[in-house]
Every structure is written in C-alpha cells, then in structure tokens.
Amino acid sequence: MREKLIFELSHCGRKGYSLSGHNLPEIPMETIIPSKFLRKQSAELPEVSESEVVRHFIRLSTLNYHVDKNMYPLGSCTMKYNPKINDYTCDLPGFSALHPLQPAKTTQGALQLMYELAEMLREIAGMAAVTLQPAAGAHGELTGILLIKKYHESQGSKRRKLLVVDSAHGTNPASAALAGYQIISVAGNRDGRTDLDDLRLKLDGDVAALMLTNPNTIGLFEKEIQQIATMVHNNGSLLYMDGANMNALLGITRPGDMGFDVVHYNLHKTFATPHGGGGPGSGPVGVSEKLIPYLPVPVIEKQESSKGTTYSLQYNRPESIGRMMNFYGNFAVLVRAYTYIRMLGPEGLRRVSENAIINANYLLSLLLESYDLPYPKPVLHEFCLSGDRQKKAHGVRTLDIAKRLLDYGFHAPTIYFPLIVSEAIMIEPTETESKETLDIFAQALLSIAQEAENNPELLISAPLTTPVKRLDEAMASRQLNICCSL
Ligand SMILES: *Cc1c(COP(=O)(O)O)cnc(C)c1O
C-alpha cells in the first residue's frame, strides 16, 4: 500500500499536541521578526496529530533499509554498526552548541578532543602526524596527493605520473587526476596482488607515488609490501595507502610500519560514524615525518606551561598546502569517532579487526560450495565472489542475485567491483554480526544459487516483495551515458 504524503493526512485544525489547561501565552511574531519579513498569509503546513506524524515517519523509515533493521553485506564500506553512544556524545551541548568562530580560549575542550583524536589515529596507523580536515575519503586522497606534489616540488622535482593498481577504488585515479597527475595503471598478478614485474617496469623517474590499498579491495594482504616500499622509495617516489577501510588492521599492523608515507582513513567506515545518505564523512590523513611541513592549516598545537595545558590553532606555516576545508573538519563526526575509539580502547580495537577477519572467513566457508572464489584464500575482512558459474549455466547475472537478496530481507552487497573480478559480488560482514545472522545470510545466498538452477526467471524478475520494484537498469544506464556524453 502506498504511504500517503503528510499533506494528504492533514485535517484542518488538527494539532500535534493537546495540552489543554496549559495554554502557553502567544508571543506576537512581530516582536521577534520585523513585520516586513513576515509572510502575509500563513504557510500551508500539514495539520496532523502527534501519533499520526510519528506513525507516518516510522512507516517511511521501515520502507527503507538501514543498519538498525538488518546487516549490510558490504559492511564497513556501506554501513557497519554505529554505536548509539556516538550520537549521545556529539549531541552534548558543549559540543553541539559551539560556533567555529569562537575564540580558542572558549573552545579548549573541542580542540583537546581533536588533538587527541589525531594522536590516536596517528598511533593506530604508525604515522608521524595527522590532519583531521578532509571531509571524505576521496577528499583525503586529494589532500594526500597534494602533500606529495608539494614535497616533490620542494625537492625541485616535477614528477608527472601517479601509479594506481588495477584493483583500486575508483576515487584513487580520480583524485590523482584532479591533482593534475597522469595515471598509470599497475597490473595485479594471478594471486590478486600487485604484480612486482609490472611495477618495476612502470617505476621511472617521472613517478611521484604509488597508491595502494592493503589489504586490497578483494580482501588480500599485499605480502610483498616491504619489497614494494623499498622499490618505490629507491625510485625517489612516495607510497600512498588508501586506508579507507582499516577494519582488518586495527591493533595488528600499521601502514607506517609497512613503509607508507601517506594514509587516509575513512572515519565513516572503520571508525563507526554514519554515512551512505547519513553523512557527512571525514577522511583524516596521516603522514610521515618529511611531509609534516606541508599539512593543511590550521594545525592544532598543544602547549604545556606552569598554568596548565592549552590548545591553539596555528596558521603560521609557510610551506602548508593551505586549507582543504572551511574551519577544521566535520566536527560532529570527529566526536563520534573519538567516542568509538575511547570506548573500545587498544584491546577492543584489536578485537574489532580479529572478529571482522574471523567473520569474513567463516561466511566465505559457507558460500564456497555454491559460488566461485576467483582468488585463493585466506581472506582478511572481506572477500570477492564471482557469479560467473550462475551466469554461464543459467543466464543469471550477479545483478539478479543481488536483487533477489532484497526479497530475503537483506541489503545487496557491492557488485561489479573491483573491476578485475567478472560478475563480482563483494562481501564484508564486519565484526559485530552474530554467527546466527551470518548463517541466515549464507542460507539466503545458498537458496538463491538453488533458485538460479531451478527457476532462473524468478531471479531475473526480482525483487518481488520490496516497496519499489526493479528499475529499468538498461534504460538507466542509457540515460547515464547520454548525461556523460553531453
Ligand atoms: C569508500 C572508499 C573510498 C572513498 O571514500 P569516500 O568517503 O566515499 O570518498 C576510497 N577507497 C576505498 C578503498 C573505499 O572503500
């Protein structure tokens, strides 16, 4: 049944509250807003009772899919469990009522929180310093690449190329191109890892940096990372880590120890802050010692004196790349991530990654009988299946499998990414899903594999039970092409 618009539910004179006997004195609008700014007629607003309006929005929210309803099969990259306490702390009036232009002596608590969060992230990734400014992962990449560019310029070198591996997230080449670099793709080998021969071939004196994701986007650890770091550094290039998803690394190993010069984090993935329609995000960037002078301004500094500790915003940094954002970053997101890290502590963070890896490998073991795994096990926090078997035998595509999952009450996983896996189905269950939930999810995918065999038509017409049926994907992509070619 279609949910009516709130205007259709409206009845003249109906009120959202009934506090008879407690009539509050009416304050004439003119005393608050000058009459020239007031509407001549009052705006037409829906008139509904409190329970009608609450029920309306609850019904709407349950038509939608969200992490409070069920799991996301590409967990931390789409939405992992965001503890409610994160919202509680960022709602505290001392944080939520701040204005970014307040003088620093009235915002010491906020500055302390940002300083400490940067310190914790620095420690987690083993870097020399961290900026919290960037507003998203891609924005962090751009910041990191601009830092690399400035570094080379300060060495009097004008390197024009950036190497990106072919399993990289699409934002990697996009950010590098935005910073003015020519993108050179480095191939993966049969194991799904970086092909060192191809890397050697492409590393020349014009290469500013190599961008790498470790574990990479198919969930595999780049075992030869130290050799890669040596090759890159011997070439005078820098090594960039896409740390959007650190769910496999927390407390176990650190990009800084592997030899990375720059890493960006996605607080809205690993560090449990909302995203995916619920943003805004945050993409802090960690750097090695030699990149510190170029960090965006302002930098938060801590001063110890006989009167105690104070924090200040430093703008006087002549070699800085400048500002990457208004003010200091998405503050409410920073408060949430700070809460998350402090609630877990070092032991808890390590358990997050251990459980994420165990959950991914457990789920994979349940699915192997029915789906192809193009690259060998073991995986870390995520894995990438292929729907090739279903496509070849029954004409059912990965898209159809994903659509059918909606009928089983699950969000779809990420599909057709990374590009190196044909009919890719990418799954990341995350650390907080119980064995029972993983079993039910696996059962859904196994049943779908059965249906692909016995009743492929069903999958091709799925989803059948959702409020919105399948869109015309062919038409949508045709229109997208038209838009792109305009
Ligand atoms: C999500 C993601 C990004 C981009 O982050 P945004 O915040 O969406 O800009 C980059 N790299 C990887 C591996 C990601 O998962």
Q: Which residue's CA is minimally distant from atom 7 of ligand 1?
A: 137
Taking the centre of ligand 1 as the mean of its atom positions, its distance from the CA of residue 20, in whole angstroms, is: 53
The C-alpha atoms of residue 129 and residue 110 are separated, in whole angstroms, by 19
Mutate to test the pocket of ligand 1, among 76, 213, 245, 266 (most ligand atoms within 8 A of CB): 266
Mutate to test the pocket of ligand 1, among 171, 214, 245, 268 (most ligand atoms within 8 A of CB): 171
Q: Which residue's CA is minimally distant from atom 6 of ligand 1?
A: 137
Mutate to test the pocket of ligand 1, among 245, 263, 333, 380 (most ligand atoms within 8 A of CB): 245
Mutate to test the pocket of ligand 1, among 80, 145, 169 (most ligand atoms within 8 A of CB): 169
Domain ranges of the chain: 1-20+46-57, 84-344, 353-479
Ligand 1 atom nearest 141 alpha carbon: 10
Taking the centre of ligand 1 as the mean of its atom positions, its distance from the CA of residue 254, in whole angstroms, is: 19
Look at residue 18 in the predicted model and tell me its pLDDT.
62
Mutate to test the pocket of ligand 1, among 165, 242, 246, 264 (most ligand atoms within 8 A of CB): 242
Taking the centre of ligand 1 as the mean of its atom positions, its distance from the CA of residue 136, in whole angstroms, is: 8
Taking the centre of ligand 1 as the mean of its atom positions, its distance from the CA of residue 202, in whole angstroms, is: 25
Q: Which residue's CA is minimally distant from atom 4 of ligand 1?
A: 137
Confidence (pTM): 0.90
The C-alpha atoms of residue 283 and residue 281 are separated, in whole angstroms, by 7
What fold is seen in the domain 353-479? Aspartate Aminotransferase, domain 1 (3.90.1150)
The C-alpha atoms of residue 317 and residue 422 are separated, in whole angstroms, by 48
Q: Ligand 1: residues within 6 Å at CB? A: 77, 136-138, 169, 171, 213, 217, 242, 244-245, 266, 281, 283
Ligand 1 atom nearest 77 alpha carbon: 15
Taking the centre of ligand 1 as the mean of its atom positions, its distance from the CA of residue 135, in whole angstroms, is: 12
Taking the centre of ligand 1 as the mean of its atom positions, its distance from the CA of residue 284, in whole angstroms, is: 12
Taking the centre of ligand 1 as the mean of its atom positions, its distance from the CA of residue 80, in whole angstroms, is: 14
Look at residue 29 in the predicted model and tell me its pLDDT.
76
Look at residue 477 in the predicted model and tell me its pLDDT.
61
353-479 matches 84-344 in CATH topology = no
Taking the centre of ligand 1 as the mean of its atom positions, its distance from the CA of residue 266, in whole angstroms, is: 7
Taking the centre of ligand 1 as the mean of its atom positions, its distance from the CA of residue 48, in whole angstroms, is: 42
Question: Consecutive sets of 10 residues in the chain, 486 residues long: mean pLDDT of each?
Answer: 90 78 69 86 88 94 88 83 94 95 96 98 98 96 98 97 95 97 96 96 98 93 97 98 96 98 96 76 97 98 95 97 94 96 98 97 97 93 96 96 96 91 95 97 98 96 91 66 42
Taking the centre of ligand 1 as the mean of its atom positions, its distance from the CA of residue 169, in whole angstroms, is: 7
Q: Which residue's CA is minimally distant from atom 3 of ligand 1?
A: 137
Instruction: For 84-344, give the CATH class.
Output: alpha beta
Taking the centre of ligand 1 as the mean of its atom positions, its distance from the CA of residue 235, in whole angstroms, is: 27
Question: What pairs with residue 384 in β-bridges?
Answer: 426
Ligand 1 atom nearest 139 alpha carbon: 9
Ligand 1 atom nearest 269 alpha carbon: 1
The C-alpha atoms of residue 243 and residue 283 are separated, in whole angstroms, by 9
User: Could you tell me which residues come within 8 angstroms of residue 65 by beta carbon, excluding any fewer than 6 positions away?
Assistant: 411
Q: Which residue's CA is minimally distant from atom 14 of ligand 1?
A: 244
